[in-house]
Structure 1
Amino acid sequence: MAVGQARDLLRWRSPLRTELWAARLTAALEPDEVGPFLRELAEDGSAESRLTLAALAAVDRTGWPWTESSPESKEGAEAGSEARSGAGVMRVLGVEVPGTTEADLGLPGWVRRMGQVTCEGAWYGKADPYGEQTLAVLSFRYANGKEPHILVVGIDQPNGGLAVDAVVEEVTFLDDLGLSPAEPGVVAGRVLDAFELGDRIMGAQVADTLPAVRPLAIARALAVPGLVRQAPDGTMADFHDLPDVPGAREAFEKLAEFVGERPLWWSPARVSQFLTSWLPREAILSDPAVAAMPEVVRAWSRFNGAHPAVLHQIDVDAPRLPALMADESLAGLGKRIARQQL
């Protein structure tokens, strides 16, 4: 089947289409199938088999995630196929295929453009009104300037920021997303962080389409220069509309502690959790800060989209806050211990 599909790809002469195909093929292979499949390709020696090897190598990132102790480096990843090939040996999907190097495959020149892309921009922002999912977008173009495309990765916020879906689309797809430009190295780092988190969580719920795009998505993110891993979100620092009332700064510090590194996620349910559960359980606040909290939360909500349902939830829950904060039975263990130390 792979050889038959590769025959069509040789006619289409599209690096992008071939890489997407290789990513799907990679996702379909079970671990115990990889070695025999690669050996069969190497032994076959046809142009179709050689293209399949080259395409799999182009999306191969078996050394990821990079660690300081890794024998390879980020620079090795950016060097592309050269980092995975040696004299007489090509490394594909973590398996060394002897007797073959990418230089010796004898394939058309367009094949060498696979993986050789330049990142031309990045965008980041909410995928939905409440930011329960964010979108990280990177745009790329091949070395010859052809086949511009974007990678779009959906990142779940309620479950910690793991990748839940990804697509590769034409650049015009970006027009309907309404995202803000961002630093490419930061966005690429967030993509890698999201995939790495998903790899750590067993049974994570992701879209059925994600595995087939994942290899190419990781390869594209690793191709972006100046990667920044675990970059802090600067949204809170951009907020400058703190109400001019006593206790507002203290209240905002607790709000910032609650939203943490996921400030774009601000839904009615999260507002209610903050006002009726988290604050009474975790926060020690002065009386002025408790009094200022509703206005602080309203100001933050206006800054974060001013969604009517969010503002309505504040009106519902805020009047209960003084009584909830005064109810010592709601305090968690950490709050009780902290109070004893005051």
Structure 2
Amino acid sequence: MPKSRGRRKPGGGKKPVRRSPHPLRLSDRVLREARTQRLEDRNVLAVEAWASGCLGEAWLAAGMMEREPEQMLCLEVVGRASTTPSPHGLAAVAALERVGPPDSRSLLGETVEILAGSQPLPAWHAAAPHRPVRAWRAVDVWDSERVLFVEYDGPVPHTLMAQISEVGGTMVDNLALLTPAAAEAWAAMREDGEVPMPPIEQGSGDVLADLALALRLTDMTWPRQDDEDVVALRALAWARCRDHLPDWPEHQPLDEAERGRLLDAFAASRTDAAQEADTVRSLADLFLDYGENYLSRGPLCWSPGQAAGFLEDWLPRKAVLDQEHRMLLPAVLTQWVTFALTERGVEEPWISPVIAAVDAHASAFRAAFDDEEAWGPAKQISAALAARGVDLTDRDAVDAAVRTLNAERLAQQLTGRPRPSGS
């Protein structure tokens, strides 16, 4: 006889929650939100922001190999809205049409026409696109961060703001929809001690091209940028700037004559021990190589964040340095950033924070440099070759040694024998 579970006392306990065996798909949630938020009654800018958030959620949740998550969401919403026509379904499709990816616009537009045959279109559907009328770019003294403002007129005048960082690569850090005249208000709120970033008015096409290139580079980063505001407004920002997307900029290597001039000028600016000149010049050459390949705004564009990333991340993973180079590196880097920023015309008060960053992260550089688990593959191979006495400046010797090293490692994998120390 089964045991009694007893009766629930009046007012006691909680009613069991009935759970759906499967979570709602994003497309179902989109249609549910369109109904509960009465999308058809909102203003057109709020509608565009809402649709952008839906598309952003699909983009963020997609795996690395999923190339068209936004198009897939549009396709699913169209399918569900067409299966059970409703005013909120029509509003959802029409909202996605305003900011959706170009490849989906035709399908979304055709679906709107079909659904509109049996129900009224939202009033905002006929609203003209917002038109850029003014734009500003505010850049810090190190060219490591900039804020873009694009002011729009139209049905709901507003300003689209984008904050872009260059530390560790180009990344859109923040997006926002602000009131008109936001650029002037932002400049007035800056305090005297903050890094100078005066907004300079520029052509809206140039500023939107800057935003488009930054968005493209941000989209290429994995894991994806997950800032809530960026995810929510990414599709809207793309819809505003996609037509201004420039061609890929060609990498312009530093002219050898200019490289030589910079190295000579740096050597002449130093007043300390001449006997270390060769080591110091090779370090300066390393700093210049890093700047040319990793400082996206130019080889002399050092900032506190760039100095920190160089010392704590890039050097421990990538560089192979002997004891003399390691000992001198923090002091020489301090001299180099002073020289580089002076070359760029940065005033002394804003050189000091970069020097302070070098001092603050020098100990972390020393601690991390010997952590072999953090080494990248290239550094592991270089260290193994150096331990064998291979001259890393001799290309033929390096190629021969790498072939030998690969053969040895393959043999060790096949036989299961451990690698000898230093290999």
With the length of structure 1 as denominator, give the TM-score of the two structures: 0.60
**Candidates 163, 166, 175, aligned match of 2:172:** 163
Cα distance in 1 between the residues matched to 2:290 and 2:181: 37
Mapping of 1:1-342 within 5 angstroms?
1-7=33-39, 9-10=40-41, 12=42, 14-28=43-57, 34-42=74-82, 46-63=86-103, 84-85=105-106, 90-91=107-108, 97=111, 100=114, 107=121, 110-113=124-127, 115-118=129-132, 120-126=134-140, 134-143=145-154, 146-155=156-165, 157-158=167-168, 160-174=169-183, 175=186, 176=189, 178-181=197-200, 184-204=204-224, 206-223=226-243, 225=244, 227-231=245-249, 255-259=287-291, 260=294, 261-262=296-297, 263=301, 265-267=303-305, 268-270=307-309, 272=311, 281=321, 295-301=335-341, 303=346, 306-312=350-356, 339-340=393-394
Superposition deviation, residue 210 in structure 1 = 2.5
- 1:51 alignment partner AA: A
RMSD (Å), alpha carbons: 5.2
In the superposition, relative to structure 1, how do residues 147 and 185 fare at CA in structure 2: closer, same or farther (>3 Å)? closer
Structure with more of its chain in strand, by fraction: 1
Instruction: For 1:276 and 1:24, locate their aligned partners in 2 and report how far apart those are by CA, in whole Å.
Output: 39
What is the distance in 1 between the residues matched to 2:163 and 2:118? 35
Amino-acid identity (%): 14
Q: Give, as a single letter, the amino acid of the residue that structure 2 aligns with 1:165.
A: N
Which structure has the bigger radius of gyration?
2
Q: What is the distance in 2 between the residues matched to 1:298 and 1:213?
A: 39
Specify every segment of 5 or more residues in structure 1 that has no aligned partner in the other structure, as ranges.
64-82, 283-290, 318-330
Q: Relative contact order (C-alpha < 8 Å, sep 6+): which is higher?
A: 1
Give the 3 Å change call, closer, same or farther, for CA 167–298 of structure 1 in structure 2.
same
Cα distance, 1:139 vs structure 2: 0.8
Does the CA contact (< 8 Å) of 2:151 and 2:160 recur in 1? yes
How many pairs are equivalent?
Answer: 289
- Distance verdict in 2 for CA 1:141–1:97, change over 3 Å: same
Deviations 1:251-305 (A, max 9, x none): 98764542241436443425657998788759xxxxxxxx997655213345276
In the superposition, relative to structure 1, how do residues 294 and 208 fare at CA in structure 2: closer, same or farther (>3 Å)? closer
CA distance in 1, matches of 2:221, 2:359: 37
Change (3 A) 1:293 1:25: closer
Deviations 1:201-260 (A, max 9, x none): 43235313322211111111225x4x43445899x9xxxx99966557x89876454224
Q: Distance in 2 between matches of 1:185 and 1:103?
A: 38
